[in-house]
Structure 1
Amino acid sequence: MRRGGVKAVAPWVRTRLRAAPGPALALLVLVLLTSFLAAAFPRAVDAYEGEGLRHEVNAAPADRRVLQFTDEPEDEFAESAESAEGGADDSLQPERMAKAYRQILATLPEPLRVDAGQSAYGVRSVEPVRASDRWLPELEAGLPAFTLSTQAGVAEHSRLLSGRLPRAAGDGATVEGAVTATTAETLRIKVGSTVHAGPIAVRVTGIVQPLRPELGYWSYEPVLRTPALLYTGQPVPVAYWHGALLLDPGSAEALRALEDEPEPYWRIAPDLAGLTIGDLPQLRRTVASVESGPLRTRLRDGISPTLDAGTSLDEVLIGFDDIRAAIGPVVAVAAFGAGSVAVVVLLMAGGLSATRRHQELALLRSRGGSLRGLFGRLLAESVVVALPAAAGGCALALELLPHGRLLPALLASGAVALLACAALPLRAVFTHRTTRLHGGRDDVVRAKPSRRRLVAEVTLLVLAVAAVVTLRRRGTAPGEADELVSAAPVLVGIVAALVLVRLYPLPIRLLALPVARRRGAVGFLSLARAGRSPATTALPLLALLVALTTAAFGGSVLAGVDGARDRAALVSVGADARIAAMDALPKGLAQKVRKVPGVRDVVSLHLEPELDLRDSVTRSVTLVAAEPTAYARLARDTGLGEFAAGRLRQDSGALPALVTPDVAERLGSGEALIGPAGAMLTVRVAGVLTTTPAVPTGDFVLVDAARLPDRAPTALLVSGPDLSAPGLRTAVRSAGGDPTVALRSVERAGFTESPVQSGAERIYTVAAATGAGYAVLALLLSLLQAAPERTALLARLRTMGLTRGQSRRLLILESLPSTVLAAAGGALVGWTAIRLLAPGIDLGRLALAMQDGFATMGPVGLRPDPWSLLLPALAVVVIAAVVSAVQAWVAIRRMTTTELRVGDTR
């Protein structure tokens, strides 16, 4: 817009900001906060997912995360001929092995960084070689077997305890070697001992202590540091020791004397310190290329045509990706909810500013101002405030969350800035698209929705139905969820808000009829004012309903996760604590445990894990012998297989037994002999249980311990939610023996070790709280928008004799219809959304992550949480009442005769 040929945009902006700094400052703070949250969300998700990726890979066993390259040694006669002709050195020589190692390191690209300190290479015997020295300890299967290894770097990864490190072999018959301290102690090897492993004699020159034995150098092949038991084949497996002899790399040629060809190997440990979630796709491609792709071809061309590569790292990455894909849609629900409410608040902020300046903008239009000029002026005002605020919020998020992808954060902040800049000018242009002196009534009772609004509402309804149906049919399994599915709760809340806006006039009219007949004007005036609230009430109602639905859904998610973890911990332990021993428990232990603070009950059990049912089925069955009354009480309290104690009691004849369905089928309906020879029992099936506290997830036979007096207790199940864990362990230690103590609380804490779980829960909680905060802000904005008109109303009514108390009640009662409607509707919609979406959402991955032992628990579903449904709804009503009371107090204190013209819409 021009006046006198001079552009007036810049002076307009400066003048407006100086004239009204308060609204500009409020917009700056709102945009700054919203931009920060929008940019921080994807960065926070990337941060916890990256931490989870590093955790899962580091937590995997060394043999699952290391890349191993192996080769076939060249024939020694052909190699000798090549050497005589000036060809390559021998394939097992240290120089060639080191050169191949350096070439592998140089070939592996980012993000597959190498931890050189835990990587290793050498030559090893493929099969363990039996020793022939009778002074070695023998087990049932005979003398120990040894793996002979020339792994490089033993000196750097160990501390010499006695003797010296081995040197290169002088001849092929006798070589020098070293053993770890554990190997020396277990197999009775000393410095100077000679071990004859097949055709090779190894003279032990030193004993070493591994440094950081839990890391990859020693853990990929654990036998290098710790002897293990090997077993012969069927029909009766028997054990023998398996150890390792550490040779000098220069002795690799001596391994050719073994019956099987030795194996050159290079084990590359990945360095995950700087790994981020953004590196995951490229990391998967790199691992696949190393196993069977271009990188493998390049290594074969440079090192050996028979070089082979293998790793289980790809399986670890796939497992993590499955968890991430399962948790992501659940977290996205909170993001959609909080984002939707934030969008509504930004729109309301623009609407509040447009309403506050309605007369000013109407005057500009009446004096010939064009819509384009009006849009440009208001856009310039908004840009001057919103763009720096959005940039500041984004910069703050990037500073506080340094890890994560940059582009999503920039796009999110950019979207906030665009919406903040466009809200005011678009609302003003829409309102003032035609010039008129006075507008008609635009309230929820008189307003008639347009056809375009009907089309938009039907479209949203179709999307919500499609999202709910898709979610119920496909669920949130990895690879199945998408944005429409994650937006299902939000869409349900939006549709409910639109329905409530259409139904809102009906209860207002119904309530107005009886109130109009009552004495006193406050009730009638409050309902009349509520009915004349502007049609834009849909925005705060939408914000409240979406926020309440998201909060209810979030509470259901967290309640379902907590319930699943509590259940899994109970299934793992069977009670609040379990004390068990391989043989009989120490005498008097049960009495000592009962004296531990917090212990409520103790049940003694006799368990036989490998009960013989004397049939051809090999599936394991556990015998459980317990005192019926105490054990039945425990089963009832835990909810694991409740039964009547009398079903196990019988003075003579076959023992009545409660068994699992599979065992009942194997035993039949009559009497059956079970157990090994010399300890056989005659039992009959007295009932079927699917689970029991002592054996929550396996097959069992439960009998009365009084009928088995020769069976001593082997386990105690302890009840007491507040029992003292240190006191319990002290009581067990004081009783002697070596019983193990398992606590339900410890098991419960173990389900939240994964950063993916804890990070997702934090993100969900923060997002739900953010949505609730924006909903409260939307409620405040809606009340502020009506503040001038309310003040003018009170000024008129005060001149007509309205008392202070009646003024306060009027404003409070005026805000209650829409607020109560939003609160009740939000609780109802939240409950409905949970019931609708529960069949399609499995929270098992979020609750238990990588815990694979609880598949028998079935899907972990949503369940309504009363606190999440009712508390936010009540909070909305209370906040609205408090704000209205404060508005009334301020209006009464500052009321003057000038207020009689404020907000006058005639």
Structure 2
Amino acid sequence: WAAVAVTAVTCVALPLRAAAVHRVVRVHSDREDISSVRPSRRRTVAELTLLVLAAGAVESLRRRGTSGSADDLVSLAPVLVGVVAALVLVRLYPLPLRGLARPAARLRGAVTHLSLARAGRTSASAVLPLLALLTALTTAAFGGSVLAGVQEARDHAALLAVGADARVDTGAPLPSGLPDRLRRQPGVSGLSAVSVTSEAKPENGALSVPLVGVDPADYAALSSRTGMGAFEAAGLREGTAGEAAPALASTATARMYGTRPFPVLLPDGSTLTVHITTVLDRTPAVLGSDFLVVDREALSPAAARPTTVLLSGTSLDGAAIRKAAPKAASVHLRSEERRSYVDSPLQTGAEGVYATAVAAGTGYAVLALFLSLLRTSPDRTALLARLRTMGLTRAAGRRLLILESLPQAVLAAVGGTLTGWATIHLLSPGIDLTAIALPSADTSSTGAELRTDALSLVIPAVAVLLLAVGTGVGQAWWSGRRGSVQELRAGDAR
């Protein structure tokens, strides 16, 4: 009897369900697409809840930063911002389609109007891939910007540690022919020979301030290239004999001695009277926060002899520079200093996590778009088959599929780029990348901030657009090879 009961239930279940569904016969049903269906109240409440959570996470991250203990809500801030932006764009998605459909109806030919009409008649569930696309693109942009901020912080820290692309320092007067030999080395595009006196005493006092004698033209060009204390070369050449020599000074030195003329006692016993004309935060020749920079012509012959050579250029050969420099000289390259910042497991592991986030975000965006197009592939193939019986050419069919898939792809690309840009600017005040960028960072000298990376914003968006166009072209080509007989079956209700 148990077997008979199971068999009866199994046989009767499907007919009873069919009878219940068809109890009221409906020949036509209302069209449920994004152009006509209004969002339900539950969806509105859910979207507002996500908006409040995202706003709270962003504000908490901006106030507390990443230095303190971060909870899950703060960690999810980039994803929440992307989801909220995606929900907003999904609500706005039908508006541009309706606006474009009206002028397209007045154009010659039906391809543009038909493609926009079909894009607007997509079912409401078909915009779910748009959520995945925007969230994935935002994640990829955020991860790429973190990596770009780390790279920029390391480059800047290496520049602060060396002062130029390469530095040759002896602490004593250099041989007379050394600057010319270094200038001829491969990759060297600029050179500035300076004299650094670390025992200069302003106002004959007990405090010492590093005094740098430079050639104004070469040193101004170097400062401009490195972005460390750029100044006008003419500012160091002003003045006549008997007047105080103009000088560049750090903020701390200028605060201590002011802009009035004051004497500076040099180690060789000579005295130079200077007056500060320009205040700089940093200068390439001195790595500290206290310095005075004057024209080398104003110094005595002994104090004016160069002790340091600062080199600029790309792909500098460290071995060749060390071979040309004296044995007692210390040679530092910016590229070697830069490579020393990636030894810590924290830095390499964090970089791997964010690089994986970029790759995963881009991959999920492409996969979401591909699955969305694959889901609607049978319907579009059948449409092409019917239209070809009415004279539609293969080129027109290809344009139809491309134009139909472009609105969602363009909205995802543009919306993802704007959302990623906005997410980075919203979260950058609360995110400090110094611990990821530098193993033993001195936050007083350098800091790593979250900055917008153009490639991380543009490349995933372009990949989405190319995939949308490529899929439409491929499907039109494949449906043309198969022919229209299989798609025009009797009783096909699509």
What TM-score results when the alignment is normalised by the length of structure 1?
A: 0.51
Q: Secondary structure at the match of 1:641?
A: coil
Residues 601 and 836 (structure 1), Cα distance of their counterparts in 2 relative to 1, 3 Å cut: same
Which of 376, 399, 414 is 1:809 aligned to? 399
User: What is the CA distance between 1:504 and its match in structure 2?
Assistant: 0.9
> Contact 1:658–1:685 at 8 Å: present in 2 too?
yes
- Mapping of 1:76-87 within 5 angstroms? none
Measure, in 1, the Cα distance between the counterparts of 2:381 and 2:3: 37
Matches of residues 198-237 of structure 1 in structure 2 within 5 Å?
Answer: none
Amino acid at match of 1:598: G
What secondary structure, in the 3-state scheme, does the structure 1 residue paired with 2:17 have?
Answer: coil
In 1, the alpha carbon distance for the partners of 2:19 and 2:42 equals: 25
Question: How far apart are the structure 1 equivalents of 2:71 and 2:265?
Answer: 54
Q: CA RMSD in A?
A: 2.7
Cα distance, 1:574 vs structure 2: 0.6
The residue number in structure 1 matching 2:173 is: 584
> Residue type matched to 1:668 in 2?
G
Whether 1:738 and 2:328 are equivalent positions in the alignment is yes
Matching of residues 349-368 of structure 1 within 5 Å: 367-368=16-17
Percent identity over paired residues: 52
| CA–CA separation in structure 2 for the residues paired with 1:771 and 1:813 | 25
1:510 paired to 2:99? yes
Contact 2:149 2:451 in 1 (8 A): yes
Q: TM-score, normalised by structure 2?
A: 0.92
Residue number among 443, 453, 465 corresponding to 1:877 in the alignment: 465
Aligned counterpart in structure 2 of residue 443 of structure 1, from 14, 26, 33 = 33
Given residue 759 of structure 1, which amino acid in structure 2 is its aligned partner? G
Larger radius of gyration: 1
Count of residues paired in the alignment: 485
Give the equivalent residue in structure 1 for 2:413.
Answer: 823
Deviation at 1:542, TM superposition (A): 0.8
Deviation at 1:851, TM superposition (A): 2.8
Once the two structures are superposed, the pairs formed by residues 546-561 of structure 1 within 5 Å of their partners are: 546-561=135-150
| Other-structure match for 2:488 | 900
Superimposed CA distance per residue, residues 602-658 of structure 1 (whole angstroms, 9 cap, x where no aligned partner)? 11111112322247675x521111111110111111111111111112341222211
Structure 1 residue 710 and structure 2 residue 302: aligned?
A: yes
Query: Which amino acid in 2 is paired with 1:458?
Result: L
| Aligned 8 A contact 1:497 1:538 in 2 | no
Equivalent residue in structure 2 for 1:629, among 208, 213, 217: 217
Residue 3 to residue 790, structure 1, CA distance change in 2 (3 Å): farther
Q: Which residue of 2 aligns with 1:90?
A: none
What whole-Å deviation, never above 9, does each CA across 1:50-74 have from its counterpart, x for those lacking one?
Answer: xxxxxxxxxxxxxxxxxxxxxxxxx
- What's the CA shift for 1:795? 1.7
- Residues 694, 676 of structure 1: CA spacing in aligned structure 2 closer, same or farther, 3 A cutoff? closer
Structure 1 residue 862: Cα displacement: 1.6
Q: Check the 8 A contact 1:791/1:895 in 2, yes or no.
A: no
Q: Which residue in 2 is equivalent to 1:719?
A: 312
Task: Indicate which of 850, 853, 858 corresponds to 2:440.
Answer: 850
3-state SS of paired residue (1:600) = strand
Cα gap change, 1:904 to 1:813, in 2 (>3 Å): farther
Which residue number in structure 2 is paired with residue 683 of structure 1?
A: 274
* 1:493 aligned onto 2:82: yes
Q: 1:533 to 1:635 in 2, by over 3 A?
A: same
Distance 1:903 1:807 in 2: 24
Q: Counterpart of 1:500 in structure 2: which amino acid?
A: L
Shift of 1:681: 2.0
Matched, 1:867 2:460: no
Alignment of 1:252-271 (within 5 A): none
Contact 1:792/1:903 (<8 A) preserved: no
Q: Distance in 2 between matches of 1:663 and 1:467?
A: 43
Deviation, structure 1 residue 874: 1.3
1:713 shift after superposition = 1.1
Give the distance between the partners of 1:817 and 1:493, measured in 2 at CA: 19
Distance 1:816 1:8, change over 3 A: farther
Once residues 451 and 375 of structure 2 are traced to their aligned partners in structure 1, the CA distance between those partners, rounded to angstroms, is 38
Question: Which residue does 2:124 correspond to in 1?
Answer: 535
Q: Summarize the Cα distance change of 1:671–1:520 in structure 2 as closer, same or farther, 3 Å threshold.
A: same
Q: Quick one: distance in 2 between partners of 1:642 and 1:589?
A: 26
- 2-side partners of 1:769 and 1:454: how far apart? 32
1:335-734 → structure 2 map (5 Å cutoff): 367-368=16-17, 440-479=30-69, 481-614=70-203, 618=207, 621-649=209-237, 650-653=239-242, 654-676=244-266, 678-708=269-299, 709-711=301-303, 712-732=305-325
| Offset at residue 592 of structure 1 (A) | 0.9
In structure 1, C-alpha distance between the alignment counterparts of 2:17 and 2:487, rounded to whole Å: 30
Q: Is the Cα–Cα contact under 8 Å of residues 512 and 524 in structure 1 kept in the other structure?
A: yes
Question: CA–CA distance in 2 between the matches of 1:741 and 1:721?
Answer: 16
Amino acid in structure 1 at the alignment position of 2:289: G
* Aligned AA (1:577): A
Return 5+ residue gaps in structure 2 as ranges. none
1:748 paired with 2:338, answer yes
Structure 1 pair 514/369, CA: closer, same or farther in 2 (3 Å)?
Answer: closer
CA distance in 2, matches of 1:761, 1:458: 34
Residue type at the aligned position of 2:336: V
Q: What does residue 350 of structure 2 align with?
A: 760
Q: Larger deviation: 543-552 or 895-904?
A: 895-904
Distance in 1 between residues matched to 2:350 and 2:220, nearest whole Å: 39
Contact 1:366 1:435 in 2 (8 A): no
CA apart distance, 1:547: 1.2
- CA distance in 2: counterparts of 1:7 and 1:616, whole angstroms: 107
Distance 1:896 1:570 in 2: 66
Whether the 8 Å contact between 1:586 and 1:737 is mirrored in structure 2 is no
Q: Distance in 2 between matches of 1:610 and 1:3?
A: 104
Unaligned runs of 5+ in 1: 12-362, 372-431
SS of the counterpart of 1:562? helix
Measure how far apart 1:671 and its partner are.
2.0
User: Could you say which residue in structure 1 is the equivalent of 2:365?
Assistant: 775
Secondary structure of 2:263's aligned partner: strand
- Alpha-carbon separation, structure 1, partners of 2:490 and 2:322: 75
Using CA pairs under 8 Å that are at least 6 residues apart, name the structure with larger relative contact order, 1 or 2: 2
Amino acid in the other structure paired with 1:475: G
Pairwise CA distance, 1:532: 0.9
For the residues of structure 2 that align with 1:703 and 1:673, how far apart are their CA atoms? 13
CA contact (8 A) 2:203 2:262 kept: no
Deviation of residue 903 (structure 1)? 10
Q: State the one-letter code of the partner of 2:463.
A: A
Whether the aligned pair in 2 keeps the contact of 1:608 and 1:622 (CA below 8 Å) is yes
State the AA in 2 paired with 1:742: H
CA distance in 1: counterparts of 2:336 and 2:51, whole angstroms: 47
After TM superposition, list the pairs within 5 Å mapping 1:293-332 onto structure 2: none
What's the secondary structure of 1:862's corresponding residue?
coil
CA contact (8 A) 1:812 1:884 kept: yes
